[in-house]
Amino acid sequence: MGIDSLIGGTIWDEYSQKVTDLMNNPKNMGEITEEQAKEMGTKLIVADFGAESCGDAVRLYWAVDPKTDVIKESKFKSFGCGTAIASSDTMAELCKGKTVQEAVKITNIDVEKAMRDTPDVPSVPPQKMHCSVMAYDVIKKAASQYMNVDMESFEEEIIVCECARVSLSTLKEVIRLNDLTTVEQITDYTKAGAFCKSCIRPGGHEEKDIYLVDLLAEYEKEKLAQVATLGNDGATIEFAKMTIVQKLKAVDKVIDDNIRQMLVMDGGDMEVLDIKENGVNIDIYIRYLGACNGCASADTGTLFAIENILKEKLDQNIRVLPI
């Protein structure tokens, strides 16, 4: 598949310069023959790995010194898109000079970060993030062949999505780096949740310890805690103990992240007018705008949904009162 068929219009800007350079001029593409391996006094390892999610595949060649376990040469062949070529080339480069035991610790995050032009900007668009996962897996395949052990024995990470082989640390990193708020965004970036969907939320055909919705909820709590940070000591306080300004900021954030889009889609909106303590209750006074003003469900279903979300995210004693 040619690069022109993958990149067009504005999507080109989502690739780092390193990635575009490696797409056109990979440094480590090729193969290592048995004769070449013998000349180097090394053992040849050839490992294949294919990603069913996109149809791409990669073949990794290692020339390993059997006395030291050092990978003296590393090459690859990629059967896939331009991003797979760039990821595989970076992966092969990262393997060079490392022992097999060190190479097996290279993660897909290491591969993706190595392709960045700047540390905080992803090197590829979200729909291509899974290509680095394939590079991560083929390393483990090669190491398992060299050490004559099961590939799964190298798995130190908690795998949340078995279908796309996406780890807990990868998901947390991608969610935080890109400020993701929905399962659909996670799937775009990592392919997690794209297939059997068991990892999205409880109730799938396979029970999980951690679900994507759990990670989104955890990240949102972290962001809310940052909103509530006091002074320079880094201490955080509960919603009920915040100042009125802090409460307003926290409520506005929850509304922006979870509620406003739902209202705007129906031609409406809302605004927070005031927040008052009323005994054990925290009363939030709101005003509906646009189509929401006078809507039949504004005082029933819509109000119930808004109040439930604010209770879940901030405090169980919240009451929402439209005026």
Q: How far apart are CA 32 and CA 75, in angstroms?
A: 7
Q: How far apart are CA 150 and CA 146, in angstroms?
A: 11
Contact 270, 287 (CB under 8 A): yes
Q: How far apart are CA 79 and CA 62, in angstroms?
A: 18
Candidates 54, 81, 163, 292; catalytic one = 54
Q: How far apart are CA 234 and CA 219, in angstroms?
A: 18
Q: How far apart are CA 76 and CA 100, in angstroms?
A: 16
Q: Burial, 118: exposed, middle or buried (Cβ in 10 Å; 0-12, 13-18, 19+)?
A: exposed
Contact 58, 89 (CB under 8 A): no
DSSP 8-state code for residue 26? -
User: Catalytic residue at 131?
Assistant: yes
Orientation of helix 168-178 relative to helix 212-227, angle to 10° = 40
Q: Which two tokens stand for residue 73?
A: 């040469």
User: Catalytic residue at 54?
Assistant: yes
Strand partners, 57: 50, 79
Candidates 131, 163, 199, 292; catalytic one = 131
User: Would you name the residues annotated as active-site residues?
Assistant: 54, 131
